[in-house]
Structure 1
């Protein structure tokens, strides 16, 4: 891990029954942490049976509009549902990271939506508001994985930046496992921007 990222410790591990998309319920464990560098309340969701070898891990950035309200402007809600189901089946961890709007916050993300409605893509809208195109830093994710003893992982993502950041922070990403493409009429431009601007490994029909 980077010398700039002090070691975090497990604060509590809480059993929680979790409903999956197929209607079944699994027992998950929500783990909280002390010592995360940004001071936010990120949570690890441990699911499935313990595995021998690298577990399946997803880094999921908080999205109130998609995760909670079911917005179709993004693919976050379906990505979260898919991640929980696949990790429950394979055994592993979903890290729920409190970095709404690629790290710019909820209100700014909604402001970015208004700019997207004028023609800017999701990345340029963030820049127009004075932010980086993607403000997310996965140092806390590496801290959480180390605290859980999961330093070698199979990463469930289409986003190469997640794997690259974790590798720089000392996490051994032995494989990058692709997720599905959750295309809706309302999110086609959003998905196309991910491919064009951030090299996401998905194919999106026009």
Structure 2
């Protein structure tokens, strides 16, 4: 039977269930996957909890990326970041918020249109979004803050290279006491994407490899 949860600011825990995971580090971890009700955007975001939640847990906000997370696309670093986060949290404990924000909030079909523009028009990821009449990044992290509040987590150590995540969480009432960088996963197909994130949106990614 699913476990009911509390209510915070209109959002609350809907259910909490145990799910065994198969991770590359062979941890054989069982995580708790938490669903919610009353989130501001009405989407089906989930939290994945590892171990007992600490007073100031390590938290990763990960936006859904079908191509990277599921299909292993090398056009981005989403898949490796997700795997790294799950493996780290399975060992150290913490929470991963899996947010249904495909394509930085523009949706899967529009993201594929942006891919076409990158491939055939030479645009970078942000210019492609603008060509489709979207802003560079439509993601609103208020639902993430609501999820943390519903879980009784007002203070976090944030696992991220994206300064917008910490800024928005603080704006929505979450105390980000530390920011822990993720790994860097460059390859010849995503290097331009990574450089665009650094140069245009201030991501804390140090790129040392060079690709032809």
Alignment match of 2:12 (pick from 9, 13, 16): 9
Alignment match of 1:61 (pick from 56, 60, 63): 63
Aligned to 2:109: 107
> What's the TM-score once normalised by structure 2's chain length?
0.92
Q: What runs of 5+ residues in structure 1 fail to find an aligned partner? A: none
User: 1:6 offset after TM fit, Å?
Assistant: 4.0
Aligned to 1:91: 93
**SS across alignment from 1:44:** strand
- C-alpha distance in 2 between matches for 1:17 and 1:42: 19
- C-alpha distance in 2 between matches for 1:27 and 1:49: 12
User: 1:119 offset after TM fit, Å?
Assistant: 1.2
Q: What runs of 5+ residues in structure 2 fail to find an aligned partner? A: 1-7
Aligned to 2:123: 120
- C-alpha distance in 2 between matches for 1:132 and 1:35: 26
Confirm or deny: 8 A CA contact 2:27 2:90 kept in the other structure: no
Alignment match of 2:197 (pick from 187, 194, 201): 194
Aligned to 1:45: 48
Q: Deviations over 1:5-37 (max 9, x none)?
A: 943110000100011221231010000000001
**SS across alignment from 1:87:** helix
**SS across alignment from 1:186:** coil
Alignment match of 1:152 (pick from 146, 151, 155): 155
- C-alpha distance in 2 between matches for 1:6 and 1:126: 33
**SS across alignment from 1:33:** strand
Confirm or deny: 8 A CA contact 1:116 1:122 kept in the other structure: yes
User: 1:90 offset after TM fit, Å?
Assistant: 1.6
Once structures 1 and 2 are overlaid, which stretch shifts more, 111-120 or 136-145? 111-120
- C-alpha distance in 1 between matches for 2:52 and 2:21: 15
RMSD (Å) for aligned C-alpha atoms: 1.2
Q: Deviations over 1:55-104 (max 9, x none)?
A: 00000000000000000000000000011111112211000000000000
Aligned length: 201
**SS across alignment from 1:58:** strand
Confirm or deny: 8 A CA contact 1:153 1:171 kept in the other structure: yes
User: 1:154 offset after TM fit, Å?
Assistant: 0.2
- C-alpha distance in 1 between matches for 2:53 and 2:138: 33
* Cα gap change, 1:49 to 1:89, in 2 (>3 Å): farther
